[in-house]
Amino acid sequence: MIVKPIDVVHLGLSGAISSYWIDGPEPALVDPGPSTSLDGLVHGLADLGVALTDIRHVLLTHIHLDHAGGTGELVARAPHLQVHVHADAAPYMADPERLVASTRRVFGEAHDRLWGEVVPVPADRIRTWVHGERLPVPGVRAFATPGHIAHHVSFLSETDGTFVAGDALGVILAPGAPTHPPCPPPGVDVPAWLKTLDGLEGIGPEAVGVSHFGMHDDFGGRISEMQKRLSDFRDRVQAALASGNEGDREAYDREAREATSAFRPRDEVDACFDVFRPSYDWDGMRLHLERAAQA
């Protein structure tokens, strides 16, 4: 069993969104990406010698549109596919109206250009997963990894030791680049995320694949970095809210871009972060903290 990353070349931009091909007894695809990049996915699969008819399973880490938005259209093209998703998220795949409305509130007028149409997945194509169950895909183990969103799931290829993390280990836009905590509204939960990271420490995979972007090593180091950066980000937003420092939102956005630009050309970093804006992550963390204070 071999895991291969696929750059879906979202809106012509390389190095932004990874899907993952798991070549096993029942081949699987993790996170096909949005409908706006399905042609890029198909081309990436073809480069690996894979046709849509070769895929048996689609595994979703979660249902944010940059990960799962193209699933319904993919199933329309390949109706034999089985789509595996956390039980709590399955209703939003079968009827994505509320999911699209929520995403549209974040991205506004850019929504349709970025993510395109979200086609419902037929109910008979959906297979739900809950924590404690064995995933019905030979050689692939699922882990509940809540925090980025409550229904987040990550996957371990047990043969080659690759851990496909989705967003659980953050955004890493280049080898050696700092980890950026993706916290878009409305689902981030910092205590749950820190607990997830604690629980992952004993897995020890050979490599880790993140959705944004690609394959990385030093799993333990990336966990430690994510723990620190997530905690520091929470504390920074908390301090800004307490002091009324509204300008720190944009300062954080600038600093995130500058930090990654030491490892990748600035125009490419800006193109990625113009889609996944650090200022949106600030908004998500602020919402999380406000909800926690009300509770």
- Confidence band (pLDDT; 50, 70, 90) for 223? very high
User: What mean pLDDT value characterizes the chain?
Assistant: 96
Domain parsing of the chain, residue ranges: 2-294
Would you state the pLDDT for residue 145? 98
How many residues does this entry show for the chain?
Answer: 295
- E runs forming strands in the chain: 2-7, 18-23, 28-30, 57-59, 82-86, 126-129, 140-144, 153-157, 162-166, 207-210, 214-216
Per-residue pLDDT tens over the stretch 96-146: 999 999 999 999 999 999 999 999 999 999 999 999 999 999 999 999 999
Would you state the pLDDT for residue 19? 98
How many Cβ atoms from other residues are within 10 Å of residue 282's Cβ? Answer: 24
Would you state the pLDDT for residue 96? 97
Q: What is the pTM of this model?
A: 0.96
CA–CA separation, 30 and 20 (whole Å): 5
φ and ψ at residue 210, rounded to 5 degrees = -110, 155
Res. 60: pLDDT tops 90 = yes
φ and ψ at residue 261, rounded to 5 degrees = -70, -15
Per-residue pLDDT tens over the stretch 32-55: 999 999 999 999 999 999 999 999
Res. 159: pLDDT tops 90 = no
CATH of 2-294, one of 3.40.1360.10, 3.30.1360.170, 3.60.15.10, 3.30.465.10: 3.60.15.10
- Confidence band (pLDDT; 50, 70, 90) for 74? very high
